[in-house]
Amino acid sequence: MKTVAVTRWADKEIGDKGQIEVVDYPLPMVGPTDVLVKVAYCSICGSDPHILESGKDIEGFETPFGLGHEVSGVVAEVGPQATIAGLKVGDRVACQFFKACGVCVNCRHGRENACVSMAKGNNAGMAEYVVCDEQQVFKIPDSVPLEEACLVEPLSIAVRAIETANIRVGGTVAISGAGSLGLMILQLAKMAGASTVTAIEPMEEKLELAAELGADYCINPKSDDIVAEAMKITADYGYGSVIESSGAPAAAKPVMDILAPGGTAVFFAMYPTGYKLPLDLLRNIHDNEQTVTGFLNATYKTFPQSLALLPRMNLKALIHEIFPLDDALGAFEAQATGKYAKILIKCS
């Protein structure tokens, strides 16, 4: 079968990036509790370019390393012991990319997303087929197209962002970064009862899309003073919830300056290794009682929550272009422009 993989890691000395190629892999073996999924679509996650640039520095990653984990498809085979979830051949499904052990200290404390025994497998989603344990495979609503269903995994992260941000009915929310996650969070914040949602984004194309999807205010850091505009919008009080979804240090810096007293700031994106955010402990934590938090991936419970929300989300608007599997390089080049919310790869 064909798989999109990194075949060479970046050479830091000459500033090179990882090399993407479509390579041939053996068809995955299906174990007793496994499910073989014929992949329909896999979208490019923001972490995929990060792997291209940093892969050889990440423990356990060796070339060739298969890419992709935002997957939708159709069940092609079910292992003989994969009976609990009621899956059958022909079911339309989406896949959760990690499998937790269920017995380590993190799993037993409800933090299966940080499972210490989680396998770092090379089971790429940008492929014709993928094998997952049945606990990772979920049926999708009949009304949702497969091209939108591959966005369940990032949607589950957006759901966790909403839960972490302590958004209250009638509250004010600022979302830094209007990529796919930011635009999902925008829609969810509206559903959660926020009275005012502000999108902060330097790419004009993404900012226009944020406005179309319901942003009440838009701030472009290239032309606007973020703090001045935020204070104008919130009558000098700040936002009750600020969610930073871009992973850019320049975007992270003003977050605490636009956060209201008693507000919650959520940083969950992937930031450069070693980046340190200045924090005034007296002003922010003591005097203003502000909460600063983040999270690692989604949890198991946010995946079924996201499946239930799929029919209410406008995900079609986020999908800019769909590339064939053989043109994965073109897909990554389009993603690298930073203009588009989501680029998909059609795998079958």
Q: What is the CATH number of the domain that holds 233?
A: 3.40.50.720
Do 322 and 284 lie in one domain? The reply is no
Q: Which range is least confidently modeled, 10-24, 132-146, 297-311?
A: 10-24
Residue 196 Cα to chain centre, angstroms = 23
**Residue 54 sits in the same domain as residue 20:** yes
Domain count, the chain: 2
Highest mean pLDDT: which of 52-66, 116-130, 245-259, 326-340? 245-259
Residue 59's pLDDT band (boundaries 50, 70, 90)?
A: low
Q: What is the sign of the dihedral through the CA atoms of 332, 55, 121 and 297?
A: negative
Please state, in angstroms and rounded to a whole number, the distance separating the CA atoms of residues 111 and 107.
5
pLDDT-based confidence at residue 243 (cuts at 50, 70, 90) = very high
Assigned domain for 47 exists = yes
Residue 198 has pLDDT above 90, yes or no: yes
- Is residue 294 scored above 60 in pLDDT? yes
**Stated length of the chain:** 348
The pLDDT of residue 55: 60
Q: Is there a single domain that holds both residue 147 and residue 161? A: no
Q: Which domain holds residue 161?
A: 157-293
CA dihedral 142, 323, 132, 38 (to 10 degrees): 70
Whether residue 333 sits in one domain with residue 257 = no
189 and 95 within one domain: no
Residues 197 and 162 in one domain: yes
337 occurs within a structural domain: yes
- Looking at the fold, whether 34 and 139 belong to one and the same domain comes out as yes
Per DSSP, the residues of 60-95 read T--SSEE---EEEEEEEEE-TT--TT---TT-EEEE
134 with 179, same domain: the answer is no
Q: Which residues contact 273 (CB under 8 A, 6 or more apart)?
A: 54
Rounded Cα distance, 318 and 334, in Å: 14
Mean pLDDT of the chain: 92
Mean pLDDT across 74-85: 96
Do 138 and 176 lie in a common domain? no
Do 87 and 134 form a contact (C-beta atoms < 8 A)?
yes
- Same domain assignment for residues 97 and 189: no
**Is 80 exceeded by the pLDDT of residue 312?**
yes
CATH code for the domain of 12: 3.90.180.10
129 and 13 inside one domain: yes
